[in-house]
Every structure is written in C-alpha cells, then in structure tokens.
Structure 1
C-alpha cells in the first residue's frame, strides 16, 4: 500500500501519537522507538515548544575545551560537536597560545541590519534621497517597536539606503541599523522592519517586498589575534609551514573553504553548546570570506620581526545571551554559566578566539603528523564501540587497530570475537 505523507492535524497531536505514526510509517521496532523518544537533558515539554512536529530528541556530545586564556582571563569552553579530535585539538592549541594575556579578541558594536526592499518606485535614486531626508522620523517610528531595548540603551541608530540593479529593475534597499545589545536580534529587527515598511512605501511610492534582518552581519565584526613562540608549535620549521599553509589558503579558494571549515569547527561547537543560530553564523562567515569577490580565508598566519608565529582572524558573529533558545534550553543555560559570560560581546570574543585556536591546531596537524592521526584514534574507538566493545576493551581494540594499521569496523568485530573466544587482544 502506497504511503501517504499528507497527515492533517499532525502538529496538534501529542508527541507520543506523532512518534507512533512515524514508527508505523518507517517500521521502527520497540528499541528504536525507545531511543528516539528519549529526550535526554532536554525536557519533552520544552522540546515540543521549541519547534513543530517534535517526535523525539537527539543528543550530541557536550565537551569542555581546557587551557583557554582570552584577554587575560581563563575560560573552560563548552563545545558540542560530533567530529573526533576537535575538542582535543582546541585544548592543545589553547595551551600553545596561553603566553601573557593569551588570545586577544575584541568585538565591535552589537549592531544588526534590518532590510526593506522597495520595488516599483519611480525615480529610485531621488526617492533614496527622500528616505535619507526623513531619517530621523523613520528612526523615531522604529523606536516605538523596540521600546524595551531602547530603554536599555540600544535600539535603532541609523538608516542607510542603496539602489541595486536587478532583472526587475532598480530596487531601493533600505538598511536600518539597530543596536541589539545582548540579543541575537532577529525578532527585534523583524518587528521593526515590518512595522516601518508602510512609512517607507509612502515616502517612495513603491511597494515593500521583503522586510527582514540580514544575516550578513558586517556591523558585528569580531577580531582575534595571538602570538606564540615557534617552540610551542614544534619549532621554527613547523611555524614556517603553518605560514605556508596560510598563504596557500589565500591563493586557492578550494583550500580556503577547508581552512575556514576548521575555524568554524570551533565557532559552531560553541554556538551549539550555547544554543545560538549557527546557520546564521555560518552564512554570514562564508559571505564575509567572499567579500572581495573571491573566497578567502578568515584568518592569516605570519612570522613577525622577532620570529614569533602570529595569527589573526576577522569574522562576523551574531550571537546572544538573552532571548531565543539560549534562555530556553536548559543545557545552553549551563553552558553560559560554565563560560561565566554575561554579554553577547564577551561570548562573541570567546567564539572568535576558539576559532583561531582551532585553525592553528588544524594547520599544525596538516603540516606535521597529518590531520588523520588524531581523527583515526578517536575513529578507532568509535568503531570498537559500534562493534560491541565496552569498558576497557574499547581502548584495547582501538589500540590494536591503530598498531596494525587496520582501522575498520570489520577488523574491530574480528578482534572482539577473538576476545570473546578467550584470545588475547
């Protein structure tokens, strides 16, 4: 019988009923239903209130990177990630960058951009000037829809206008700049642009097509930099090779993407732990890497006049410590408590610092023992567990696979079977 995914009122059903329907659809057995229906450290009621059509939970490892010293202050950094060796690599690189104040990191104003796109306006360049002429009136109107944040010192700060060409003809693009303080800002921005759009339409005689924030957070840039003795990374030769790897990323976009992926390993792991909008962060970061028209690395490594290895990173980061999932998810609250941060600015600075450290760790591994060494050790453990090993046997089987150079599920299973027969592993 053909399956039918048209299920009217599915969202109205209790979680258990939704799970039962999906289980029947997919032929899930009792064990699979039990696993899927286990919400772990996220209460079912909260999960069901966060998104639609919830049927279960999925837990990722929550780890803590150690050794971080950022702006003269020590941090334990929560990271949520499934990729082997990332947390160990971040901790190792943080140790290499602990001298003095450690990694320096500075976030700029916490400003976001709300966009209103106007189409069908006659004399668009003239109308753009009319919008700027009415700037104060527009800002005053916008403040009515962000009174709470205005009282705290934030809110609408400026108006920018561009006319962009398109297949539809000229589009007047209005940017309203809003200081969102410690929020990520999406809800505040969207409320403002939706409510002031009619005012813009009246000024221009056009129609507002899109009214939403931009995730290209170019007014929320964070810069991080660090300096370390080459001996900390394995010597002068390793340091020079790290610089060469950085130069290759600058020259080759195919390499630059992977270079930046290593940075985002750290940034997104912290974002997940603290329940940030990691999709927005990724989109903004990669757009920023392409701002010259060619995709470039977000970080650069060099040797300074004293022979020290120095690295710098520049990235847009739209994060929050109030509102959204950050204050709803119980684990995110704990993550922020572990970090000890109170402001979005400090959180952004930590995330950029972790991204720079993660980048150093990846480059160092690439130019020395190779990226796979750390990966494969943890991969071997995962394979041993998958094969059915438990307790101390996991490490024994993993070590044997590494020693023999045969890191596969099949070999893990063979070693486990040998152990069960009483043979030495």
Structure 2
C-alpha cells in the first residue's frame, strides 16, 4: 500500500484515532507505533540504562507533520516539541510545496571528522608535512579500530593537517575524515582518534592532547529545495516580501539568529523524535551559519524564480544515524523511524532538512503577511487555557475569548475560565 501524507481532518480525531489513522496512511501496522503511547513507551528501567542517576522520565509532545512529499515519496514526519504551531506550520508549508512536487533533497557522503591536537611541536610546518608523509600508516591504524565499519563500506577516507595559531602557541591539528555509513559516528571517530594520537604526536614531534570529534560536520551536508507557488501564497507582493525578509537574515546577524532558530524548530523536533543528538545537530548548524568572512548569516536562501514563484533552499550539516545510541534503545524513537520508513541515515537527514526548510518558510510567510503572533498565539492560547485548569470541553471557549480580547495571558485566562464556570 503506497504511503499517503495527505490526511484530512487529523486534528479533529482523538489521540488514539490519530495513531491508527497515521499508521494506516504510512502503510504499517498500528502496533509498530504503539510506543507513541506513554503507557507503552520509554520505561524507567530502560531509561536507567541510558543515563546516570535516573529518577523519572520527562514527556515531550510528539505530533505528526502531514503533507510532506520528499523526492516524490509521501512522508509522515514525527516531530517532538513543546512549542505550539511548529507541527501545524510545517504541515501547511508542506501542503503549499506539494503544488510543485514537494521537496527535492540530496546529501554528501556521511563523513565525520575527529581532531587530534598536538602541542609543543618545535617546527609546526615541518611537523605538518611529516604527518602527511605518514598518511597511509595513520589511516591503517585508525581503520584497524573498527573492522565492522569497514565491512559496511565505511572507514577513514583521508587525513588532513591544519596549523592553528593561538595565544598559547601554534597547534598541529590532525583531522581524521571518516565515512561512518548509517551511524551518527561520534563513538567510531573518537575511538580512532584515541588510537592514532600517540603515533601522530611522535611523528609530529610533540605531545597529543585533545582527541575528539568536531561537531562542525561540514563534510556531511544535506540539502533541500522547494518551489512555493506565488498564487497560492497570495501573489507577487507576498513573494517579494518574503524575499526581503530572507535578505535581512542574510545581512543582519540579529535577524539571522531568530531566522535560524525557526529552521531549528523543525529540525530539532525531528532529530529528537528519532532519538538523535539535538545538541550535535544544532552546534553543527550554527557553526555552518558563519561565513568564511566570519559573519553569522542565514542558513537558508529564498529567491523569486523565472516564473515568479518563490524558491527556497537549505543546506547544512546533518550528523544523524539509524544505528547506535537512543535510536536503538528508545521505543518511541524506533517507532518514529518505522513511521518514516527510511532505509539509510542519508534519507533521514534529508527528510529532517526538508522539515527545517518547511518550518522556515512558514515563519517567513507569517512574518511577511499577518505577523507571527496571529497564528502562533491562537495555538499558544490552548496551552494557556489548559495551564489554568480548563477541561477539554472548556478549552475552545476559553481560547476563543482570549483571541477575541487579544489578551493571551494566564491571568486573563483565569478570569475567563471563572466567568465561564459561573455562567457569566
């Protein structure tokens, strides 16, 4: 049965009915995503094996973004986030992108890097050349640490040497460039760095210090692009204003920080849902946003194409995996990967990037038209209403009043709820 991400009326169903509907649309058995129910998800017993000093489990809402088409395949995208409007905004953006075929994505090979810092080298330039001469020896030593990775076609692809001047002297820094296949790769590259450090220091004529991966994963990039129809957006003026909004983010670091945060709203939600490392992805993304000239800028670009439609593109590091870590231990993460139906880490990375572009576009469209608060606050009002104790039956009336009064605040929600219950 082909997958279908276009699900009408999903928000009107109960939580249980949504799970059943989503499973059917994804062409999988409902039991496959049973772990999305807290009663069948992560237990304290499993959590106790994941981190130290476990005392409980913190739940995060997990929603499904609909309407996504990625490389001509319908995809239902799980998103774990506490922020209202993220799932709805991404779904709406994906619906608009469907008009011109959805999202097209691509990736580089999954190469991660580990750094070996060597201090106290008397002749850094000569030390750099000595290490390059020993390239084959160091690669063989590193590859010997992970024969399983080699069996799957991975392993060290190259070693580069950088000289890094600092206030404490010039460091010789060796970079191991490792194809980690479908893993995120931190453990693999760290083990390799540890193994070669002593020999590299001996060759360079210094002492090894740091031996660890870099989260600036600029050799492991994912890209997404989409065309957003001008007529669907509301005409050429809206396209022009979105381009202006995006151009400000390119030019101004103050705007870029919020612009990129919007991208990460979508990206981090999918990374978290699939049990991957949100901090690693966020660190890589923000470091990638620094231009060669040292200017912090936007990760995405929006332009008007020859037909007057809006084109959006996004390229950034995406170090995520399907094997190891929480992706294999956390029941909900496994269920999320089953729902996505991805076969490789590259496919996962590309879907995540598409979600980031969708979220970014949705925010820009809102900013360039009605303003961000209208849509965001209507959803935020539900959180406020629930927070002051409104029942499921009372929430719609409280939300409607908060929006009508343009006072989406907890104190006003308490007043509205009290009046509702008293019959006033």
Identify the residue that residue 194 of structure 1 maps to in structure 2. 194
TM-score by length of 2: 0.89
Q: CA deviation at 1:155?
A: 0.8
- Map 1:232-271 onto structure 2 (within 5 A): 232-271=232-271
Contact 1:40 1:57 in 2 (8 A): no
Helix, strand or coil for the counterpart of 2:177? strand
1:95 correspondence with 2:109: no
Tell me the equivalent position of 1:4.
Answer: none
2:303 matched to which residue of 1? 302
Using the size of structure 1 for normalisation, the TM-score is: 0.89
1:406 & 1:179 partners in 2: Cα distance? 53
Aligned to 1:374: 375
Instruction: Give me the whole-angstrom Cα distance separating, in 2, the residues matched to 1:106 and 1:203.
Output: 39
State the alpha-carbon separation in 2 of the partners of residues 264 and 225 from structure 1.
16
Deviation at 1:40, TM superposition (A): 7.6
Deviations 1:316-369 (A, max 9, x none): 110001111111111000000111112110001001111111111000000111
Matched, 1:275 2:275: yes
Deviates more, 1:398-407 or 1:294-303: 398-407
Indicate the residue corresponding to 1:24 in structure 2.
Answer: none
Per-residue deviation at 1:39?
Answer: 8.8
Q: How many residues align?
A: 386
Q: Structure 2 CA distance, aligned partners of 1:99 and 1:408? A: 38
Structure 1's 304 and 100: CA in aligned 2 closer, same or farther, altered over 3 A?
A: closer
Say if 1:39 and 1:57, in contact at 8 Å, map to a contact too: no
Question: In structure 1, what is the Cα distance between the partners aligned to 2:110 and 2:341?
Answer: 19
Match in the other structure for 1:336: 337
Between the aligned partners of 2:99 and 2:408, the Cα distance in structure 1 is 38
Deviations 1:217-258 (A, max 9, x none): 010011111112201222211111000001111111100111
CA contact (8 A) 2:238 2:368 kept: yes
CA distance in 2, matches of 1:345, 1:362: 26
8 Å CA contact retained: 1:40, 1:59? no
Q: Which aligned pairs between 1:111-122 and structure 2 lie closer than 5 A?
A: 111-122=111-122
Contact 1:313 1:352 in 2 (8 A): yes
Are the equivalent residues in 2 in contact too, given 1:239–1:309 (CA < 8 A)? Answer: yes
SS in 2 for 1:225: strand
CA–CA distance in structure 2, aligned partners of residues 268 and 408 of structure 1: 27
CA distance in 2 between counterparts of 1:419 and 1:93 reads 36
Mapped partners of 1:351, 1:221: distance in 2: 12
Q: 1:160 is matched with which residue? A: 160
Contact kept in structure 2, 1:259 and 1:297, CA below 8 Å: yes
Distance 2:389 2:254 in 1: 39
1:72–1:100 contact (8 Å) kept in structure 2: no
**CA separation in 2, counterparts of 1:197 and 1:253?**
38
The equivalent residue for 1:9 is none
The structural deviation recorded for 1:391 is 2.0
Map 1:317-356; keep pairs closer than 5 Å: 317-356=318-357
SS at match of 1:157: strand
Distance (whole Å) between structure 2 residues aligned to residue 161 and residue 39 of structure 1? 51
Q: In the TM superposition, what is the alpha-carbon distance from 1:41 to its structure 2 partner?
A: 2.5
Where in structure 2 are the equivalents of 1:19-38 lying within 5 Å?
A: none
Q: Kindly tell me: are residues 394 and 215 of structure 1, through their superposed partners in 2, closer, same or farther at Cα, counting changes over 3 Å?
A: same
Contact 1:113–1:214 (Cα < 8 Å) also in 2: yes
Q: Distance in 2 between matches of 1:139 and 1:150?
A: 12
Are the counterparts in 1 of residues 289 and 297 from structure 2 also a CA contact under 8 Å? yes
CA distance in 2, matches of 1:179, 1:50: 26
- Whole-Å separation in 2 of the counterparts to 1:215 and 1:108: 16
The secondary structure found in structure 1 opposite 2:145 is: coil
CA distance in structure 2 between the aligned counterparts of 1:164 and 1:404, rounded to whole angstroms: 58
Give the secondary structure class of the aligned counterpart of 1:88.
helix
1:388 matches 2:389:
yes
Moved more, 42-51 or 224-233: 224-233
The match for 2:420 is 419
Measure how far apart 1:77 and its partner are: 0.1
Cα offset for 1:412?
Answer: 1.6
8 Å Cα contact 2:226-2:313 kept in structure 1: yes
**Deviation per CA, 1:365-413, whole angstroms, max 9, x where unpaired?**
0011110112211221112112211122111111111112222222221
Q: How does 1:119-198 map to 2 (within 5 A)?
A: 119-198=119-198
Q: Secondary structure at the match of 1:400?
A: helix
User: Contact 1:112/1:180 (CA < 8 Å) preserved in 2?
Assistant: yes
Could you tell which deviates more after superposition, 380-389 or 332-341?
380-389
SS of 1:227's partner is: strand
Contact 1:84 1:374 in 2 (8 A): no
Q: Which has the larger radius of gyration?
A: 1
